[in-house]
Amino acid sequence: MKGNSGLPSPRFLARSASILLFLLVCGSALTAPAAAETITPARENPFAASRLIAGSNMVREGETIALTLHVNAAGLEAPRRITVTFYIPDPAMLAAAPASMRFSDDYRRDLTWEGEIAPGQELTFPITLVTMPDSAGNRLLLADAAIFWRPPDREWEAQSHWLQSETEIHAKLTPILFVLPNGMEIGKVELVLLGYLVGGPLLILLIPWLILRRQQQRRSAGPPPATGERLLEKYLLFAMTFAFVFTLGILHLLCAVALEDMRRFVAYEKTSCTLLDKRIILEESTSSSRGGGPRGVSTTTDYNKPLVAVRYPAGGRETIAAGPPRPTAMLSPLAKYALRELAQYNRGNTYPCWYDPKQPETFVLARGISWGWYLLGAGPMFLLYFLGRTLWRRMTA
């Protein structure tokens, strides 16, 4: 608003000055945190020199790995209370930790230390983990740790400094029988697969040929059968032979399971195991889709598998291993049975156990037979008996 002389009125000038002063005050208040963030990193993050170091950059299934958590308070100006948390990665179980750290598995499996640290002080937490069986599919062992504290001038604000280490997980070494000229290593698994790939088709072709040749010799004196009847007989004979060879593979699997069950009672040596850790992992099993193609429907089932980590003397040395407390075929995939199985064991207690002297890292806390495999193989074994008896009669008739 202008006065008679064309100049702004005193009231307008006073109001404008009030608004300008208000904006200056609000602007300084809004930019205050930004100014506080310009503090040197050592002062803003007093634990920037902390480290989480892995003892190796590669570990195999079932092996232990040592981690060292260094909490360095080089940037502190006064004693401060902090919380140090180490999160146990999924592909591993706890083997050893300092007594000052508290273990918790309520929400996340972690180790926690709470206390006061002085300026320039360094705390060291050695932690040992053991990788779980069949954990090579995870490829990496990612270990995380965090340091939590509250700044002295902002007690309502919690700050944190995160640390991480990466370790590659490789498959467990298997015995090598011989090496091909091209460098390919052949073990027991490759030899069995080769036997299936070569012996299976040979049997599928050889058995029908022998039976048909036998029948042709018997019918040489009589009238030949009709062409349609002869083709149907060939198709049926090949189908029976294929099913017979397939069930032979199942018989081989059951024989291997039965042999391991017998070794568990005869060859395994008894010792005492100290329980270090226990947990339940989820294993997914995807069934075949109905209809096939992109519109097919597949079903995924979660199996609850209990695992324990134990320490025991084997072969004159101390062994740390992880695995199921009993043969997996004796366990139910339901969660309540896995919880019931682990409820029998407490961390830190000692229990009788048995280990394989040929593979000291293989152990069980309870011996028994793998009845699950035998139940699954009962039907195929009945079919194997029926097919074998039928083919033998047709060959010797």
231-243 pLDDT, tens digit each: 777 778 888 888 8
Instruction: Kindly give the interhelix angle for 227-266 and 188-218, rounded to the nearest 10 degrees.
Output: 140
The residue with greater pLDDT, 152 or 81, is: 81
333-384 pLDDT, tens digit each: 777 888 888 999 999 999 999 999 998 999 999 888 888 788 888 888 888 8
Asked if 44 and 37 count as a contact pair (C-beta separation under 8 A), the reply is yes
261-293 pLDDT, tens digit each: 899 999 999 999 999 999 988 877 655 555 555
Sequence-distant (≥ 6) Cβ neighbours of residue 249 within 8 angstroms = 196, 200
Domain spans of the chain?
A: 42-170, 189-216+230-287+300-392
The model's confidence at residue 148, banded by pLDDT at 50, 70 and 90, is very high
Rounded to whole angstroms, the Cα distance separating 120 from 21 reads 45
Rounded to whole angstroms, the Cα distance separating 52 from 152 reads 26
The pTM (predicted TM-score) of the whole model is 0.73
Specify which residues 383 forms β-bridges with.
none
Q: Tell me the CATH number for domain 42-170.
A: 2.60.40.680
Nearest to 76 by CA among 132, 22, 120: 120
Rounded to whole angstroms, the Cα distance separating 26 from 7 reads 29
